[in-house]
Chains A and B, each alone.
Chain A
Amino acid sequence: MRKYISFFRMRLMAGLQYRAAALAGLSTQLVWGAMEVLLYRAFWLEHPERFPMGMEALAAYIWLQQAFLTLFSLWSWEFELINSVKTGDVAYELTRPADLYGMWMARSLAVRLSRALLRMVPVILAAVCIPAPYGLRLHTGPAVFLLFLLSALLMLVVVCAYTLLIYALTFHLTDPNGIMVLSVAAADLLGGGVVPLPFLPDGLRQIASLSPFGSMQNVPLRIFSGDIPLPEIPAVMGLQVFWSAVLILAGYLLTRSGLRRTVIAGG
């Protein structure tokens, strides 16, 4: 376990060096968040009675979504890993006395966490300064806040396990691009990127919340904004645990069977 942890720390430190890129992303995220808030505000002012969640909760959801963007965005794939499988460089990894899936998991977690840590703080600081009900506020007690942190961690695991499953598929497919394009679109639609899940029409909403994508950004963001009532939280987080287990198992097995078939040619 210790070698995975130190590998995780190495990657985290490396990721924290890219401060300029984070600063550039910051302004984009602030504008994006502001436009989203302004848009929903227009709907809220016109039809407050048909709003499925409070404006304050929605504003918290939107700002935290912008702050956490790099934590869960599926489109930030690690092409280095995919290319290492395609070119055969993955052979170097295999010479190490560590499990490939474990190494990749440690790496993915560290990369996403380092990117998010850099961007999160300024976005949150800016969003807190915006007046209510359009800014970021904490609406819940300390117990729910702890549950939120835990579910954010589970989200990170689900997202990484999902991406690793796709990377593992690279062993079996010549080109994983098609699945990647579809995954990004599906995650955006079913995960709460297009509109938050409460805004989806009936039927689609239930499918979305049960799908693995519904266990990503949807859960921590809505726990934080107080949109998921306390008695329902254990069930939703249980689903997160279920999907992490399923995705990790599937990814692990696919990597193992992929490695067994792999023949590295040349020297």
Chain B
Amino acid sequence: MSFVIETIQLTKRFPQVKRYREILLHPFEKKEITALQGVSLQVNRQEVFGILGPNGAGKTTLIKVLCTLISPTEGKALVNGLDVVIDGKRIRKSIGYIISDERSFYWRLTGRQNLTFFADLNNLTGKEARLRIEEVLELTDLRDEADKMFKDYSTGMKQKLAIARGLLTDPELIFMDEPTRSLDPSTAQHIRNFIREKLVREKKSTVLIATHNLQEAEEMCNRIAVIHHAKIRACGELPEIRKLIYKRFRYVLYLQKYPDALKSRWEKLPGITLCHYSYEPSGQIKLEVELEDKSSMTTLVESAVTMGAGVMAVYPKEASLSEIFSSLTVGSTHEFP
């Protein structure tokens, strides 16, 4: 199976600016920072793939390598089977890079003039360009605002124009770097719906999104790669990542009472960890437990019933992406293949 994107042990190290003191004391010593370390990924056709990571994790560097703006130090990166180092020109023909930075436009030109300029640079001219510009303006709901100067656009409109520009060439593969950054929740949701409905469902595009927004990643992505400190910490569908991190089973119980005798009993049961308990406004007690074996739940519930705790509800709890993210990025020592 051929992947739309494939990176093999991709590494990028940037030279760092030395201080004057370092130049004097160690003039020949290299000072580098590693932005990507041995990153291996495969992105399938027509999927939304999320690169999730905190600021400075290496997300943007990865996208820039794939868009041929930065050369890798080691390893290989292939886009549509083409090498980013050798085939930059051909790769740029097949991709759309949606740059969220509003400074990437000419502020004193109108939205339409900006799009016309970038269409020319993408070999779209004349009638073809005009039609395509109208199409992307329509797609992004910007037709009525197209003849306003870019400087007069709201943040949401600027972001939409960035998307319109990225779609000018009708690319099969679209890169997005934090597409909803600095947008209000409603506009952000609108953009997310647009990506999911128009780009992925209707146009069957492949989308690679870099984001630190967990909700965005969870809502939109078929698969996610969590990147932290230049390395991929986990990659796959969300349930796969969950299993990878949380090998134990989590349950929530609601009890009417939580007698000390029950607490002591449970503490003696093997393979059960009481994670957390709290009093609910209804007066019930909410308990979260972790089990090594699913069957231990029967013992747990039986003992609660026997000791008159009044079991009101029991349900399994899945780790949220936020918990997974924290587990992988905050003081984590996990290493994943």
- Real binding pair: no
